Structure 1
Amino acid sequence: MSSLAAIKERIQSVEGIGQLTRALQAVSSSQVRQFRLLAEETNPYIGMIREVIGDVYNEREFYDEFPALSDPDDSLPVLIIFVSADRGLAGGYPANVFQALTQLERQIPKPKKYVSVGKRGREMLLRRKRDLVADFSQLSSAHSFYDVSTLAEMVSRAFQAREYGEVYLVYTEYVSMGKLTPRSKRLLPLMDLLKEGGEAGAEKAKEARGGCIFDGDPQEFVFSMMRRCIRMTLFNAFVSAKACEHTARMLAMNQATENTKKLLGDLTLEFNNVRQQSITNSILDIVTGSSAMMKD
């Protein structure tokens, strides 16, 4: 049986862990609200951009100059942007989003290159010998729309220069506190994004009859809108993924806190039993000694 001092030391250790898990849970809870609101605020702007691009979708003369509005080139490699966790203690969140990545990989037989966002994602890709061409882990804590501009610009120009035939994004979408959905979507060409916009995207584009009037160079306009669309889509995905990461961490820390409470209860019970046994033994020693003295 453990000594009272050893049990007391374990109780103090578990209490310290409980304080840490409660603090992490509180921090993640506040971060969830912040990133969830950011994701919700960007949705109307993304829909507006998709609507504008949808209006020029049937301007066929632009297709040769703009791969973003045409069918993908199967002779070129594919770029995959992988958004994962930046820190640990997030339960199964990193493993779940990586599973979405492996499912996407099985659907794409072409050569693939990768961009990582999040330290955990970078470690996963390097450990599995993926062709990592860039790392933007600093964006995993981005709060500003302009923080993602470098990545969006790199992706847009590389695709426009026909370095890649398709660009995919793998991340986790925040649906609700109890539903974090790993997703993969095609960023470029843009048609998949336009379809997500419903009538504001591809459906509205089909109704257009070449009625667009451009002020300035139409090619420059379309390229500019493409970059804006990619930038906002990436930003929305990043903040949604951060909301998911903090939600997963909050739930994991909540479970850890409950486990520490249960362990504290067990240790307290053990401490009381050992102390009671110690007191009983002391009483027995006194009684035994008294009996011996009385016999003498």
Structure 2
Amino acid sequence: MATIREIRRRIRSIQSTAKITRAMEMIAASKMRRAQERDIASRPYADLMRQVLAGLAAQRQGDDDIHPLLVQRPVNRIILIHITPDRGLCGGLNANVNRMAVSFVLEQSVPVTIVAVGRKGRDFMVRYGREVRAEFTHLGDRPSVVDILPIARVVTDDYSAGLADGVYLCYAEFVTTMTQRPVIWRLLPVEPATIEARLEVGYIYEPSAASVLAELLPRFVEMQLYHAILESIASEQSARMVAMRAATDNANELIEDLT
């Protein structure tokens, strides 16, 4: 039977742990809100770019000199951008995203190369012997668009060079504080049909519509990638906040049982 001294020591230890998990919960909540705010702040720019691109792509349909990022060809090789956190302690988030990514890889009838964004996804793919084309870790909780440019450059260069015939994104989509949903969708080739055209104003493009399209398409891909990374960060922090809250509640219940 435990002595009173041992019980008190255990209570103090649990109280110390509860303070840590409570602090981690509050930090995660703050980081989650920041990621959401950055995502929301980037939407007007992304929406207007999408509208301008829709008009440009519609003008260019049927042209022989189609932009490389719009070219659709038979799929012989795929790149999967696998976005995960660098750290754990976020419930089943990492396992769920990794599970969806590996299921996607196994379903394909062609080789799939991984571009890993985040240590947890990279470690998972290396452990299971998947080909990792490039890895990007330690982006932090507040990445800028500049920080993700090397990632975008790898996949756009490979696609333009014909080294990949499709590029997909896999990450945890932020739904609510309690819900994070793993998703996969195609990033390249860009389909004009998926870009909603709502502009009613006619624009004159200088020096030409083709040159403007050539400049905007890579920016569009970068913004899509940036949005996915911000969603992943918000999902990570919300999952960590919920996990730490549950840990704090469990610690408090255990303290009550011991007193």
Verify same fold: TM over 0.5: yes
Q: Counterpart of 1:37 in structure 2: which amino acid?
A: E
Could you tell me which residue of structure 2 aligns to residue 103 of structure 1? 103
Specify which of 224, 244, 257 is matched with residue 248 of structure 2.
257
Q: Specify whether residues 178 and 247 from structure 1 end up closer, same or farther in structure 2 by C-alpha distance, changes over 3 A only.
A: same
- What is residue 226 of structure 2 aligned with on the other side? 235
Query: Identity percentage over the alignment?
Result: 29
Relative to 1, partners in 2 of residues 1:259 and 1:162: Cα closer, same or farther, differing over 3 Å?
same
Rounded to whole Å, the distance in 1 between the matches of 2:146 and 2:158 is: 19
- Output the CA distance in 1 between the equivalents of 2:134 and 2:208: 32
Does residue 46 (structure 1) correspond to residue 37 (structure 2)? The answer is no
3-state SS, counterpart of residue 168 of structure 1: strand
1:1-296 equivalent positions in 2, closer than 5 A = 1-58=1-58, 59-62=60-63, 65-75=66-76, 77-191=77-191, 195=194, 197-200=195-198, 213-216=204-207, 218-268=209-259
Distance 1:6 1:174 in 2: 44
Distance 1:141 1:25 in 2: 15
Distance 1:72 1:56 in 2: 21
AA aligned opposite 1:176: T
Shift of 1:259: 0.2
Q: Deviations over 1:185-224 (max 9, x none)?
A: 11100118x52x4445xxx8xx9xxx87542255443232
- After superposition, the Cα gap between the structure-2 partners of 1:140 and 1:99, relative to the gap in structure 1 and judged at 3 Å, is farther
Contact between 1:11 and 1:267, CA under 8 Å: does it hold in 2?
yes
Structure 1 residue identity aligned to 2:207 = G
Computed over aligned residues only, the root mean square deviation of the Cα atoms, in angstroms, reads 2.1
CA contact (8 A) 2:172 2:182 kept: yes
Judged with a 3 Å threshold, the aligned counterparts in structure 2 of structure 1 residues 34 and 104 are, in CA distance, closer, same or farther, namely: same
Q: Is contact 1:56–1:212 with CA below 8 Å preserved after alignment?
A: no
| 2:8 alignment partner AA | K
Relative distance call for 1:95 and 1:36 in structure 2 (3 A) is same
- Segments of 5+ residues of structure 2 without an aligned counterpart are none
What do residues 125-145 of structure 1 show as CA deviations (whole Å, max 9, x unaligned)? 111111001111122534312
**Higher helix proportion:** 1
Aligned residue pair count = 257
The question of whether the paired residues in 2 share the 8 Å contact of 1:117 and 1:137 is answered with yes
Larger radius of gyration: 1
CA distance in 2, matches of 1:199, 1:25: 42
Gap runs ≥5 in structure 1: 269-296
